[in-house]
Amino acid sequence: MLHNIQQIAPEREKSIVLVGLMGAGKTAIGKRLAGRLNLPFYDSDQEIERAAGMSVAEIFAKHGEPHFRAGEKRVIERLLTRGPIVLATGGGAFMDPETRDIVARRAVSVWLHSPVHILLHRVRGRTHRPLLNSGDPAEILQRLLAVRGPVYALADIIIPGSEDPPDVTTQNVLDKLTTYAEPRRVEVKLSQNSYEVVIGPDLLARAGALMHPVLPQKQVVIITDETLAALHLAKLQASLAQVAIAHDSIIVKPGEASKSLETWGFVVSELLSRKVDRHTTIIALGGGVIGDLAGFAAAATLRGLPFIQIPTTLLAQVDSSVGGKTGINSPHGKNLIGAFHQPRLVLADTAILTTLPIREWRAGYAEIVKAGLIADASLYAWCEANGLAMLNGDAALLAQAVERAVAFKAAVVGDDEREMKPNGGRALLNLGHTFGHALEAETGYGQGLLHGEAVAVGIILATQLSANLGFCPQEDASRIAAHFTAVGLPTRINNLPAEHLLAHMKQDKKMKGGKLTFILTHGIGQAFTHPEVTEEAVRNVLLANGAV
C-alpha cells in the first residue's frame, strides 16, 4: 500500500540565490556569503554579458527585454546545475515563473528587501541600469517594488534591508540560513490528481507563499472560528497580503455545535453574498470542525470551490485534514451529511500546536496510535517508545510523528480514495470509530469526550471485541490500554447506557443491510473489516468496559 505515497525529502545541499531590486546589495552580499561558506559565487548579469559579448543595457537596446529574460533563465538554470553555489540574480529574474521553479528545486532563495530610499542612494547615477534610464529613478523604483515585491515575497527567506554595512547584512543572512529548515512534504497521490501535505514549524507566516502556486487566482476566503481568529488570523492575513492575495474571512462559533446544517447554511450564504466565483479558494483555518465545515461548504458552493486546509490541532493535522472527507453532523449521527472534496494543499504548522492544551494533544495522539494499530506495527512500537516524550514537547518527535501518520493515511487514501473497498482500504481508518461515534453522540458532540478521546476508548473496545471473538490475543487490549493510560488517554466507558450506545451504532454509516460492521484486528498492525457482528457480542463488550 505504501507504494502509493511519495515522501519528498529535502535535497542534501542546495545553492543560495539572492533576489531583489537593483541596489539591494545582491552582489556585495553574495560575494561575502560565498567567502564565508567556501562556495563559488556567480552574478547572473555578468554571466549573461560574458556569454553575449555585450552589456545588459546593449542587449536590452538591441534585442529587447523578452530576449534578455529568455537568456537569463537559461543561464540561471545552467549555473544551478553546477552544484552548491551562491548566485546573485538580476532584479527581474525571479518574476519569471519558470525561473522561480528552477530556483525552488535547486536552491534556497533569499530576498534582500531594501526600502526605496536605500535603493535610490545606491543606484543614483548608474547609467548601466536600463530600467532606470526612462524617467525619475525614485518613481521607477517605487513602481517596481509595488509590482515585484509580492513576487519576491515568495522567496524562502526574507531579509529586511537597512543601511548596515554589508558584513552585518551578510551575517543576518547566515543566521537565517542556519535556522532555516525546509518543511517535510508528503504527496497524496490520487487517481486524477495529487496534492502535498507540508509539515513544519512556522508555516503560517509563509502560508501565502506556500499556497501561491496552487491558487487558480489570487483571491481566497478564510473560514475559521472566534477563538482561532484571535490567535492566528492576523498572521495568516499578513502572509496573504505579502504576496498580494486578496482575502476575506468568515468567522463562526467555536466547537462541535458549528458542524450543523444551520452554520453550514450561514457559511454558504456568506460565500455567495461575497460574490465568490469558481476560482475563489476556500481556506479552512482550524481543527477538524472547521476543516469539515469549510470543506463541505467548498464542495457545495457553485458545485465545488478550490479548498486548502490549515489544520490547527494535532488531530486534524494527522487525520481529518488529509483525504477529502468533509461534512456536518445530524441529530441522527456524526458526519452523516457531507461529500468527498479533496484539498489542493494542506499546511500542517507544528508550531501552532503550542497554543493547544495538553488534552487536545492527547486526543490527536490517539489517531497516530490508530495508524500503527491498523497496519504499521513499527509505528505503534515507535509510539510506545516515544509518545510520552512527544506529548511533553519534543518538537523533533512531533514533526516525525505527524509525517509518519500523514504518510500512512496518504497511502491508504491513494489506494481507496472514496472508501469503495468493502473489506479493507480506507474503511480500516475507522478502527475504533463505530464505538467512538456512539460515545460522542451519547455524551453530546464536543461536550463530554473529544473525538480523539472517544476513538481511544473505541480502539480498546474494538480490540477487546476482536479478542472475545478469537481474532487477536487477549493481552493486546491490556497492552494498548496501558499505553493510553500512560499518556493520559481514557480507556473505559463512564457509566453510559449500553442500549443507548447500541442505538447510536445502528445509525452508523457502516451499517450494511441492518447488520453491524466493525473494524477488528488480528493483532497489532493487522486490522480488518468484519461484517455482521452480533448485537450480543457488542453489548457484552460495552458492559464489560464500563457501560450500564
Q: Which CATH number characterizes residue 156's domain?
A: 3.40.50.300
What is the Cα–Cα distance from 309 to 346, expressed in whole angstroms?
A: 5
Write down which residue in 122, 151, 179 finishes a domain: 179
Count of C-beta atoms within a 10 Å radius of residue 41: 17
Write down which residue in 162, 179, 196 finishes a domain: 179
Count of C-beta atoms within a 10 Å radius of residue 146: 11
Residues 171 and 274 in one domain: no
CB-based contact 280:329 (threshold 8 Å): no
What's the pLDDT score for residue 40?
Answer: 97
CB-based contact 19:114 (threshold 8 Å): no
Q: In what order do the strands lie in the sheet with 157-160?
A: 41-43, 86-88, 15-19, 107-113, 157-160
In a domain, 90, yes or no: yes
Residues 173 and 188 in one domain: no
What's the pLDDT score for residue 120?
Answer: 87
Residues 166 and 190 in one domain: no
In a domain, 366, yes or no: no
| Pair type for strands 184-189 and 194-200 | antiparallel
Which positions are catalytic?
303, 325, 367, 409, 419, 426, 430, 433, 437, 451
User: How many structural domains is the chain composed of?
Assistant: 3
Nearest to 451 by CA among 332, 331, 359, 363: 363
What's the pLDDT score for residue 445?
Answer: 72
Nearest to 182 by CA among 204, 198, 194: 198
What is the Cα–Cα distance from 493 to 487, expressed in whole angstroms?
A: 18
Q: Could you tell me the CA-to-CA distances from 455 to 173, 324, 373, 460 in Å, in that order?
A: 46, 20, 12, 9
How many helices and strands, by DSSP H and E, does the chain display?
A: 22, 17
Strand (E) or helix (H) holding 229: none
Strand (E) or helix (H) holding 297: helix 288-300
CB-based contact 525:372 (threshold 8 Å): yes
Q: Which residues share a beta bridge with 86?
A: 16, 41
Residues 320 and 225 in one domain: yes
**Residues of the chain whose pLDDT is less than 70?**
1-12, 125-134, 446, 509-514
Host domain of residue 233: 184-356
In a domain, 374, yes or no: no
Write down which residue in 179, 206, 221 finishes a domain: 179
- Beta-strand ranges (E) seen in 435-537 are 516-521, 527-533
